Amino acid sequence: MLPYYYGGDSMITITSKEIKKIPVLELVQSDKKEDVLPLVFFYHGWTGCKEKVLTQGYEIAKRGFRVVLPDALYHGERLVSGKASEHKLEFWKIIVNSIKEFPDLLTYYRNKFGIKSEKIGVSGLSMGGITTCALLRVYPQITAAVCLMGSPAPSSFARQLLHAIPGMEEINPNYVEDQIKSLEVMDLSLNPQKINSRPIHFWHGTNDATVPYQPTKSFFEQIRNHSYAKNVTFTTTQGATHKVSYETTVEMADKFADYLA
Average pLDDT over residues 86-104: 86
- 134 contacts 154 by C-beta, under 8 angstroms: yes
Residues 6+ apart with CB under 8 A from 161: 91
Determine how β-strand 232-237 pairs with β-strand 22-29: unpaired
Three-class SS state of 204 = strand
Average pLDDT over residues 158-184: 68
Query: To the nearest 5 percent, what fractions of the chain are helix, strand and coil?
Result: 45, 25, 30
Average pLDDT over residues 75-92: 74
pLDDT at 174 > cutoff 80: no
pTM, rounded to two decimals: 0.92
Q: How confident is the model at residue 173 (pLDDT cuts 50, 70, 90)?
A: low
- 142 contacts 198 by C-beta, under 8 angstroms: yes
Q: What domains, with CATH codes, occur in the chain? A: 13-260 (3.40.50.1820)
